[in-house]
Structure 1
Amino acid sequence: MSFNISSVILHYNSINSLRKVIEAVKNQTYNVGQIIVVDNGSPGFKLDEFPDVELLELTRNEGVGKGHNTGWKYALDKYNPDFIWSLEHDCIPFDNCLEELVKHYKRDEFACYCAVEKNDYQFDKYKHFIFNSTGFAEIVDKTKLDNYKGGLSFNGLLLPTWIIEKVGFLNEEFFIGREDIDFYKRIYKMGGYSLRITSALTHHDMHKDKKVLKFGNRVFLFPAQSLFREYYSSRNAYYHALKEGTSGFKLKLKFIRGLLITFIMRNQKIKRIKLRIKAYNDALSGRMGAAELKL
């Protein structure tokens, strides 16, 4: 069966990697109907070498949610595709990635289909959370699985468009971080799930220059994420915990633990601690969206 699939690639300030992603999409063993790049306000960005790729340019960085939503809405309005194939500029799909995703699609399932990131967090060693009746709980070695139910990622997500109609678009108020968890939870609460297809692989460059340190189930990357991301990842994690019903006491323990880890494990300690405090206070007050950060 043949499907109309719109590939939507979100980009920010990483043109060399984006070129590799576009070429990989063009070389898929399953044909993509349209390739749409959404640029999130990259300075001096041009994409002249790909005249057949449609480019949507935002005037500034509007965040992950707004960026993806812009591309998804454009594809739905112009092409009415059966699927959105979501990618980002640092995640290069293997040539048969899309074919493997489509192969597992079942029309009567409330499911989306997600590729597995081959090298993110040292794929062959790291253990991931998988889906059970409560969401994310049980830990398994994903190298020993054929496929598994679990959280989704926008790096290789094959999303039936009827799911967007049912669940809605991404929550843009997160700005950067946790949009994927929020979107997945909405799917899950409506009776759906995400199926990660272990034969559909992408090469994820996000952490190629970082070292990984693991303590139990926690993973630490060195060097640490930017100060910019420190704030959003912390604020959105606290906000999401509150939204899921975490008590004030448990949230405060989470906050204190984060401060201790920052003090022990991170560089630029004072700046990061100040940002974590701001993140915690903003989450409690419900202040979301883009923030003015004095770094």
Structure 2
Amino acid sequence: MSVPTPNSDNIVAVIVTYYPDVNFIDRVAAILPQVAQIIIVDNTSSGRLADIQQRLSSFDRIHWILNPQNFGVAKALNQGIGWAKKKGYPWVLTFDQDSLPCRDMVDRLKQVYEQLNDPEKIAVIGSNYVEPNSGRVYYASRMHPKKLWVEQKTVVTSGSLMPIGLFDKIGTFREDFFIDNVDIEYCLRARRSGYKNILVVEPLLKHAIGNPKAHHMFSLSWFKTYTSHYAPFRWYFIIRNRLILVGEYLLIDPFWAAHHFIHFIGFIVKGILFEEDKREKLRCVWLGVIDAITGNRHIWPPK
């Protein structure tokens, strides 16, 4: 698969939104100078969105796809990628609505791409990020201080640069996953097909997973852990989709499956210890486990 070197003239940014806040405008303004087009795929309709649309109307090179209901992250990404493909663009750069890239993000992604020995085997070039409230870095660069990039099994959606042509070979994002683990599933599928996922070591954007908060275990100031404080319905998709992936990759990559099953247990325990809505979250855990086992694929968890 031969694709041109990524640059600001051949990359389309796809941003999926769901009730974006007013600061979304500043994030769009930070992305726009670095790409050829921005596709905003919105999964809600509201007065707030109309205001944001009006305020962004003065920006060139922005295209909106307005869904009549929440179709989920996976389908929205596929819609944006489909638009970019029809227009003949070779690259897509995906963002969450709360992500803020650095000013030279695309230049750094390009620099990494140009140093790859086998660029045709790359599925995703992911971006390291800083969690804005805590200052925590997603990937500790001290582990590889002299490397521009490291190979990873999976990377997060936001800040991921992907060749559009590869979607024809391995498929697009899995829409029955709706929202959670969509990026993980795609990365694992790419690896299974013989491609690589890499992560740029230097943080290239500010990004948060959920609404992370620090908690001190046993009232000890030095014993700190973080939980994401997702809404209960997100627990359903996190639990269901992660268990599906653990089952699918148990024999293919048992180390990954075991590691993420342990992470799955830790996620539940920490959430129940430190977060609110414990009863509803436990209900969503139960529903997620049952649906993962039985093969049900609800858009929203049933009542």
2:277 is equivalent to residue 278 of structure 1: no
| Larger strand percent | 1
TM-score by length of 1: 0.81
2:41 is equivalent to residue 35 of structure 1: no
Report if aligned partners of 2:112, 2:149 keep a CA contact under 8 Å in 1: no
Q: Secondary structure at the match of 2:22?
A: helix
Counterpart residue identity of residue 103, structure 2: D
Q: Would the alpha carbon gap of residues 122 and 252 (structure 1) be closer, same or farther in structure 2, given more than 3 Å must change?
A: closer
Partner of 1:50: 56
Q: Secondary structure at the match of 1:284?
A: helix
Cα RMSD for the two superposed structures: 3.1
- The equivalences for 1:210-249 within 5 A come to 210-213=212-215, 220-221=226-227, 224-245=229-250
Report if aligned partners of 2:284, 2:301 keep a CA contact under 8 Å in 1: no
Q: Would the alpha carbon gap of residues 254 and 54 (structure 1) be closer, same or farther in structure 2, given more than 3 Å must change?
A: closer
**Residues of 2 paired with 1:239 and 1:120: CA distance?**
31
Q: Per-residue deviation at 1:50?
A: 2.5
2:130 is equivalent to residue 118 of structure 1: yes
Report if aligned partners of 1:114, 1:196 keep a CA contact under 8 Å in 2: yes
Partner of 1:153: 156
| Larger helix percent | 2
Partner of 1:291: 300
2:170 is equivalent to residue 167 of structure 1: yes
Counterpart residue identity of residue 120, structure 2: E
TM-score by length of 2: 0.79
Q: Secondary structure at the match of 2:23?
A: helix
**Residues of 1 paired with 2:283 and 2:16: CA distance?**
30
Pick the aligned partner of 1:11 from 14, 17, 24: 17
2:194 is equivalent to residue 191 of structure 1: yes
Q: Would the alpha carbon gap of residues 171 and 8 (structure 1) be closer, same or farther in structure 2, given more than 3 Å must change?
A: same
**Residues of 2 paired with 1:171 and 1:219: CA distance?**
31
Identity between Structure 1 and Structure 2 (%): 22
Report if aligned partners of 2:131, 2:138 keep a CA contact under 8 Å in 1: no
Counterpart residue identity of residue 146, structure 1: L
Q: Per-residue deviation at 1:187?
A: 1.0
Q: Secondary structure at the match of 1:201?
A: strand
Q: Per-residue deviation at 1:281?
A: 0.3
Q: Per-residue deviation at 1:157?
A: 1.0
Moved more, 112-121 or 13-22: 112-121
Unmatched 5+ stretches in structure 2: 218-223
Report if aligned partners of 1:100, 1:200 keep a CA contact under 8 Å in 2: no
Q: Per-residue deviation at 1:179?
A: 0.7
Q: Per-residue deviation at 1:159?
A: 0.7
Unmatched 5+ stretches in structure 1: 131-139
**Residues of 2 paired with 1:256 and 1:201: CA distance?**
30
Report if aligned partners of 2:239, 2:285 keep a CA contact under 8 Å in 1: yes
Q: Per-residue deviation at 1:239?
A: 1.4
Q: Would the alpha carbon gap of residues 36 and 237 (structure 1) be closer, same or farther in structure 2, given more than 3 Å must change?
A: same
Q: Would the alpha carbon gap of residues 42 and 141 (structure 1) be closer, same or farther in structure 2, given more than 3 Å must change?
A: farther
Q: Per-residue deviation at 1:42?
A: 3.9
Q: Secondary structure at the match of 1:16?
A: coil
**Residues of 1 paired with 2:216 and 2:74: CA distance?**
29
